[in-house]
Amino acid sequence: MEDAEWECTVEAPVNIALVKYWGKRDSELILPYNDSVSLTLDEEKLGTRTTVRYSASYEEDSLVLNGKPTVISSRLSNVIEEIRRAFRKHAVRIKMNAQDLMSMSRYRFRIETNNKMPTAAGLASSASGMACITFALCTALGITESVDMSQLARLGSGSACRSIHGGLVQWEAGKEEDGSDSLAKQIYPASTWPELKFIVLVVDGEKKKVGSTEGMQRSMATSEYMLLRPKQCKDRIQEVCWAFQAKLFPALAEVIIKDSNTLHAICRDSYPPVNYLTRTSEALIDFVHRLNEALGDVCVAYTFDAGPNCFVIFEEKHESLLMWLLLHTFIENDVIDPTIHRQPKWDDDELAKYTAIIDEFSNYRNSVKSYYETTVGSGPKVVNAPRLI
């Protein structure tokens, strides 16, 4: 048994914060300053796949990230050690037989993890990546049900904790110093609102000058707006949950837009100021407000994390209109598939109205190099259960 090698494969999705996490109350344990809430995306397009091979005969843990051997960071190392500790507790609790316990305690992991979208491009690959590795290791050790995986993933990357669940997910900041109450929980499953759609618009930016960890520190140290943030987030999360339950898109959209703007307002208010948005990002903001004005209601929402990419959220019924407009304003021509996107049938008034919008943003033609369409997803999944190899 000592030389036995095992393998399992899992996938975990990206999540998009609707009320944002910004600022840490403890940077070692990655305990956030405020509550946040997110939607977990379908992992098919925006997610991570991780295969773990493990054996008591391996000498050390190792990591291959997107095909490249990579040093295990101290944060990931924390996650792995915490998972081992959690396993030992679990083994004692279930009175595991001594031989299994000894063997499994000596497991070392060969982690191979691949993001389905560009890494470090502001597409939350660190969230799905850390969630995926956590889920893979817990699956390997058979402890997915007996631990809180959101707490373990959080140690690797704060927002990763929200990718452990599907649907609408809340991460409570918690109050305990050891982080024991800083957990992510599902509020509503993905099936609650299947008509929700996302387009992720990849906006070319220079490499971020200020990473999000550094940005958060600056905001905590210098922006007075942070004083209002914990209460503001609690209120906004309530609004999100209420709008989600009632499936009232305009109410949901308004909170999403406001909280995205607040995040970037706080960045601007930090010293020195931080700006994650490009001219194209700003034009996309204007475009969405302009379109909502034309539609007479807040039918489309945008949100930006600490980067220039735009996450557009809407209901299925507005998909063909929105896609057509985006394809004729921002999205580069050669990534368009004309068999999928046909011009919606418009009467003369609509034609005039929407052509005006296309004309207004003509300066931004081809400014978006690629895009992903996706939906709400139901969280991490096991692709191949643990098996001997």
HSE (side-chain half, CA atoms, 13 Å) at 221: 9
Choosing from 62, 261, 320, 375, the residue that interacts with a copy of itself (CB under 8 A) is 261
SS3 content of the chain, % helix, strand, coil (to 5): 40, 25, 35
Q: Does 296 bind a copy of itself (CB under 8 A)?
A: no
> Distance between alpha carbon 163 and the CA centroid of its chain, in Å?
6
Using the minimum distance from each CB to a copy of itself, give the nearer residue, 144 or 223.
223
Q: Does 58 bind a copy of itself (CB under 8 A)?
A: no
Choosing from 228, 340, 352, 385, the residue that interacts with a copy of itself (CB under 8 A) is 228
Nearest approach in angstroms of CB 36 to a copy of itself is 17
d(C-alpha 248, C-alpha 262), whole Å: 22
Task: Tokens 């921002």: give the residue.
Answer: 330
Q: Does 253 bind a copy of itself (CB under 8 A)?
A: no
d(C-alpha 324, C-alpha 314), whole Å: 14
Nearest approach in angstroms of CB 213 to a copy of itself is 19
- Residues binding a copy of itself: what is the number (CB under 8 A)? 26
Q: Does 89 bind a copy of itself (CB under 8 A)?
A: no
Using the minimum distance from each CB to a copy of itself, give the nearer residue, 134 or 260.
260
Q: Does 273 bind a copy of itself (CB under 8 A)?
A: yes
Using the minimum distance from each CB to a copy of itself, give the nearer residue, 256 or 376.
256
Nearest approach in angstroms of CB 227 to a copy of itself is 7
Choose the binding region for a copy of itself from 107-115, 257-265, 332-340, 376-384 (rule: CB under 8 A): 257-265
Cis peptide leading into 386, omega within 30 of 0? no
Residue closest to 163 by CA, chosen among 304, 16, 10: 16
Tokens of 147: 């631990």
- What one-letter code names the amino acid at 386? P
User: Three-class SS of residue 365?
Assistant: coil
Nearest approach in angstroms of CB 323 to a copy of itself is 23
DSSP 171: E
Nearest approach in angstroms of CB 145 to a copy of itself is 41
Using the minimum distance from each CB to a copy of itself, give the nearer residue, 201 or 285.
285
Nearest approach in angstroms of CB 275 to a copy of itself is 6
CA angle at 216 for the pair 212 and 217, rounded to the nearest 5°: 120
d(C-alpha 348, C-alpha 346), whole Å: 6
d(C-alpha 330, C-alpha 370), whole Å: 10
Tally DSSP H helices, then E strands, for the chain: 10, 16
Choosing from 45, 66, 84, 282, the residue that interacts with a copy of itself (CB under 8 A) is 282
Nearest approach in angstroms of CB 105 to a copy of itself is 50
Using the minimum distance from each CB to a copy of itself, give the nearer residue, 20 or 162.
20
Using the minimum distance from each CB to a copy of itself, give the nearer residue, 18 or 31.
18
Choosing from 119, 222, 320, 370, the residue that interacts with a copy of itself (CB under 8 A) is 222
**Phi, psi (rounded to 5 degrees) for 327:** -65, -25
Site string for a copy of itself, 173-212 (x = CB under 8 A): ----------------------------------------
Choosing from 108, 258, 318, 369, the residue that interacts with a copy of itself (CB under 8 A) is 258
Asked whether the beta carbons of 122 and 75 are under 8 A apart, the reply is: no
Asked whether the beta carbons of 82 and 156 are under 8 A apart, the reply is: no
Q: Does 224 bind a copy of itself (CB under 8 A)?
A: yes
Nearest approach in angstroms of CB 205 to a copy of itself is 13
Q: Does 306 bind a copy of itself (CB under 8 A)?
A: no
Give 383: exposed, middle or buried? Use CB within 10 Å, 0-12, 13-18, 19+: middle
C-alpha torsion angle, residues 26, 18, 35, 242 (rounded to 10): -170
- What one-letter code names the amino acid at 174? G
Binding site for a copy of itself (CB under 8 A): 222-225, 227-228, 232, 254, 257-258, 261-262, 264-266, 268-273, 275, 279, 282, 285, 289
